[in-house]
Every structure is written in C-alpha cells, then in structure tokens.
Structure 1
Amino acid sequence: MVRRVLSWLMLSGVCSSALSADLARYEVIAQHKLSAQVAETSGLACVGDSKYTINDSGNPAIIYQLDDQGQVITEVTAAINNRDWEALSFADGQLYIADIGNNHANRRNMVVYQLTLDSVRKGIAAEVSSTTFEFADYDTFPVDSVHHDVDAEAMAFNQEQLIVFSKSWRTNVARAYRIDPNQTQQRLMPIATIDNLPGMITGAHYDAASKNYWVVGYNSKGLPKLTPFIAQLDDSFNVVATKDLTGFGQVEAICMDKQRHLWLTQEQMLFKPALLIQMAPKL
C-alpha cells in the first residue's frame, strides 16, 4: 500500500509539474521556414497533430494545414471575406477566424467567423455563424495610423467564450475583451488591462489544463527594429513570466499541442524569413 501511495504521489508530481510548466522551462528546439504561400502568417491553431494557419490582409481567404516542418499539406478557400484576418482559434470541432486587424484605424466593426473543422477537411469551409463587434471604450475617430489602441491581432478560446486582446500601439497597455460567440452583434468593454508586458500582443492561446494564457508579440516602435517576446498569463490576466525571443522578428501567432509543446509563427519581413517555431519544456 505504501509503495502504491508513493508511486501515485510521484506520478501526480510529474503530471502536476507538466501541467504547470512555466515559461522559464521552455526553449526553442526547432525552427523551419514556412512555405511561400503562408509568408504573411497571422494566426495559428493546434488541432490534434495538425496545425492550421491563415494570412492577413491582402491575401486570399484560405486556410492552410501545415506539417511540423512548416510545409503546406492542404489549402482550402473559405467562403468568407478576408479583410484583415489576424487570429485563429480552435475548440470543440470549430475553427474561429478573427477578422480584427485595424492598424490604420479605418474600421469600427470587427468580425469573428465560426467554421466547422469538418467542413475545412472536406474542402468546403463554409461559415457556420459570425459575430460582429466594436470596442465600446474607444469612441474617438479618426485617429492616426498605428498611433491608437483600437486594433487587435490576438484571440484565444476560453470555456465557451473568446478573449480578444488589443494591440495597443499608443499606450502599450493591452486590454482583454470577452466575446460570446453565440451573439451576432456586441459592443465590448474591457474585462482586464495588462500594463507590464514588454510590447504589444499579436498572438494568444489559452491552455485549459493549466488555466494559463500564452501570448506573443513585439515592441510598439514598429518595423524593422522589432524585439519579440513570449509571455505567460494566469487566468486573471496577471503576467506570470516573460521571455525575449532573441534572434526572431515579427512573431504573430502561438498555439499549444497535445504534448504541451508551443508552436509559433513568424511573418516574413526584411532580413527575416517566415518561420514555424517549436518550443518545448526542458526535462
């Protein structure tokens, strides 16, 4: 009996450690050049052993499936518009595409599209529903391009709701907004602010097992001098840890797979290729 209890405690400790793995333990273990079709990758979703990505404004409305080396396995044209796709999330058999980019502050209404993964796999990729929203706490228009906070590039699915993070060019204080994907139109007020990050949030993922958000981004000074980072937040949006992504550039998206590895994508920019980046906790 004692031996079995000790064994259970040891296994519990391992499992608990794995689920609570902090950012300090994660390191880059691989990086692969992305296929040319996804050079402007803006969102990433881990779905089983697969990864799906999208491109942002100026690109076709296509959802791409990637292998672990960053090569495109399949591509499916979606029956929705791509004004400025910036984030991709997956939950319960559904893909959520966030058309929320607004660098130039020329739009008030953002939209999140919901599609079934099954329709994407069948090559149909038809919209199931959509949610249109606007930021209710930002009413001053017009504003200067890339000198405002009415922009967003990151979204995560958390317990039947979507959390959108503002990009916050001007203040560098991120705001979190809650979206009910079952409501077709919404005006959003922030549910939290995050003022101690080293830059703007451009990608997010929620890990239900550890109840942590994982976010990536870069400084707000703009191209070409970017200082990218990754951060871990708790369920109340408090910053747990941050780490510089030294040597990388315009990191745009993040997701976590079943092995609890983190996957990031980097958009192509001057002197920096588009990349699929893999991070894993040190043993």
Structure 2
Amino acid sequence: MKLMLKILAFFIPVLVALFYFLGRPADTVTNSEAATSKLVRLAKLPSPISESSGVEFIPERDAYITHNDAGNKPHLYIVDRKGKLMETIKLNLPNVDWEDLARDSDGNIYIADTGNNNNKRKELAIYKVQLDKPDKIEAIRFTYEDQKAFPPSKKDMNYDVEAIFWHGGKLYLVSKDRGMKETAKVYELPDNGGEYKARLLGSHKLGVPVTGAGSSADGSTVALVSEGGLHIFQNVSDPAAFYKGDYQKVNIKQAGQTEAVAFENENTLVITSEDGGLFRYSLN
C-alpha cells in the first residue's frame, strides 16, 4: 500500500502539469459563439466589385473604399454602409496585381500593387493617391532587400504581399508565405514616392498565409486576416514589431475567403471577402 501511495504521489502532480500545459484551451484562440457573433454581415458589394482585395474606411465620407484583384480595371470604388456604389474613381495606372489599401492621417490612399504569386516580379509598386486629385499620383517602387533570386526556391517563396498598413509616416508590408505557408515577414518603406529596397524588420510564425492588414490610428492594435481567420494584436508598443503584442485569433469562416481588413474606429473593423461580402467586426 505504501508503495502504491508513493507512486500516486509521484504521478498525480505530473498528470496535473500535463493537463495544465497540454489540455487547457489556448489563450490566444477564440472560436466561441460570443466571439463570432461580433461579426456582422453588412451587405453584398455591388457587381462591379467582383473580387474585393483591399478595403479602407473614409471617415469624411462615412463610407468604404475598395478595389478588385489582378486582371481587373484600375478603379477604386466608394460604397456606403449598405454596399451601394457611391463613386468610381478611374486611375491612369496598371493593375498588375492590386492586393491591399492603406490610408494615412492626411487621407491619402496607398494602393499595393504587390501581388507576386510566382515571386519573380521586379516592378513592385505602392501608389499614393489623393482622392480629390486622382491624377496626382506618387509611385513608391521597390524590391525586397533580402530577395536574391527571381524566383527563389519553392521553400523560400515568401515575397508575395497582400497586406499593408500605414503608421507614423511609414508603410508596413506583411508577406504571404507561398512556400511553407507559415511565416509572415514584415517590411518597411517610406510613404513618399521614389525607388527603394524594402527593409526587412522581422518575421512571425503565424501559421497561415496573410491576405490583409490594418492598423488603428494610434498604432496600438494591428489586425490581419487570412482565409476565414482574423488575427488581432493588441497593446502594440511598436507597429514595426506588432506581432509582439497580445495576440488573439478569431475563427470567421462564415465570412468566406476574407481578403482585406481595416479599422473603422479603434473598436471596429471592416472586412471584405473575395466573393463580395462586406462585414463589420467589433473588438469589444
């Protein structure tokens, strides 16, 4: 009996420890009905927007701005909260592979022509546009400082970017890992026209390919989307290393192939899907 008690005394703490570390639900993953109920479908985007790939909120218009993916017209579309098309802005630009939008504190819109499925593009660009002067466009042209082969080997195919956000005079690019489908790299560019090498700031093993990004006005919260997933980083002290913030993953599979996310205000996100869904998500 004494031997049995000694064995139990040894194994019970071990079993408790294993349950604590392996058996408890992950702190960072949220799949509950309470969380997913925060996602509200606002509308279906109008027919000209067949493959929404980027989105931003325009507070002075109380409206959203979006665009289509590669192979479509180089147009920006402004829609209201019910998905009604308010304005089409036609730009004299190529749409090689437009993938995301960002907006700065002066209201300038940045169009990321950064889609790079095969990882061999050398003419990557982000276009800075004033919505009230759409003919006045600055081109921010760049390549990645760490890319040496065009294309690289399959496992190193991590030079496709479908996610950008702006903060404090800088543009931050988040890569879509087409090789291992695991690591999001973060790059930095100036927000004015010129030719640059995008500076690699760091990387984070998110475990999924990233399809869109947005930052709150103060930079304390950064949101990413992947297909059917929302990735929220809060209490961010430095947007350049946002992945060091408090992380929460939310399952939003009901939204479909989610492609873009932006902040409507500090507590509210707007999300679009490639099949034309327009959604709002509450962070509270």
Equivalent residues in 2 for 1:224-235 (5 A)? 228-233=228-233, 234=236, 235=238
* 8 Å Cα contact 1:103/1:145 also seen in 2: no
Counterpart secondary structure, 2:87? strand
Residues 257-282 of structure 1: CA deviation (Å, up to 9, x unaligned): 137321100002xxxxx200111245
* 1:103 CA drift (Å): 0.9
Equivalent residues in 2 for 1:245-256 (5 A)? 245-256=252-263
AA in 1 matched with 2:138? S
Q: Is 1:276 the counterpart of 2:283 in the alignment?
A: no
Residues 156-198 of structure 1: CA deviation (Å, up to 9, x unaligned): 0011110011111113200110110225011123102011x24
- Off by >4 Å, runs of 4+ in structure 1: 23-26, 143-147
Q: Is 1:151 the counterpart of 2:160 in the alignment?
A: yes
TM-score (norm 1): 0.78
Equivalent residues in 2 for 1:121-200 (5 A)? 125-143=134-152, 148-171=157-180, 172-195=182-205, 197-200=206-209
How many angstroms apart in 2 are the aligned matches of 1:210 and 1:115? 22
Aligned-residue sequence identity (percent) comes to 26
* 8 Å Cα contact 1:105/1:144 also seen in 2: no
Counterpart selection for 2:217 from 198, 208, 214? 208
AA in 2 matched with 1:205? G
Counterpart selection for 2:116 from 99, 102, 110? 102
Please, which runs of 5 or more residues in structure 2 have no aligned partner?
1-29
CA distance change for structure 1 residues 210 and 237 in 2, over 3 Å: closer, same or farther?
Answer: closer
* 1:79 CA drift (Å): 1.7
AA in 1 matched with 2:64? K
How many angstroms apart in 1 are the aligned matches of 2:55 and 2:97? 15
AA in 1 matched with 2:208? G
Counterpart secondary structure, 1:59? coil
CA RMSD, Structure 1 to Structure 2 (Å): 2.2
Aligned residue pairs total 240
How many angstroms apart in 2 are the aligned matches of 1:143 and 1:184? 25
How many angstroms apart in 1 are the aligned matches of 2:266 and 2:222? 17
How many angstroms apart in 1 are the aligned matches of 2:160 and 2:173? 10
| Range moving further from structure 2, 257-266 or 38-47 | 257-266
Question: Which residue is 2:91 aligned to?
Answer: 78
Residues 188-220 of structure 1: CA deviation (Å, up to 9, x unaligned): 23102011x2411111111133611111113xx
Q: Is 1:263 the counterpart of 2:270 in the alignment?
A: yes
How many angstroms apart in 1 are the aligned matches of 2:211 and 2:249? 14
CA distance change for structure 1 residues 210 and 141 in 2, over 3 Å: closer, same or farther?
Answer: closer
CA distance change for structure 1 residues 146 and 263 in 2, over 3 Å: closer, same or farther?
Answer: farther
TM-score (norm 2): 0.78
AA in 1 matched with 2:231? A
How many angstroms apart in 2 are the aligned matches of 1:41 and 1:71? 14
CA distance change for structure 1 residues 232 and 102 in 2, over 3 Å: closer, same or farther?
Answer: same
* 1:111 CA drift (Å): 0.3
AA in 1 matched with 2:135? A
How many angstroms apart in 1 are the aligned matches of 2:175 and 2:220? 20
Counterpart selection for 2:58 from 47, 57, 62? 47
How many angstroms apart in 2 are the aligned matches of 1:145 and 1:104? 9
Counterpart secondary structure, 1:200? coil
Q: Is 1:61 the counterpart of 2:61 in the alignment?
A: no
Q: Which has the larger radius of gyration?
A: 2
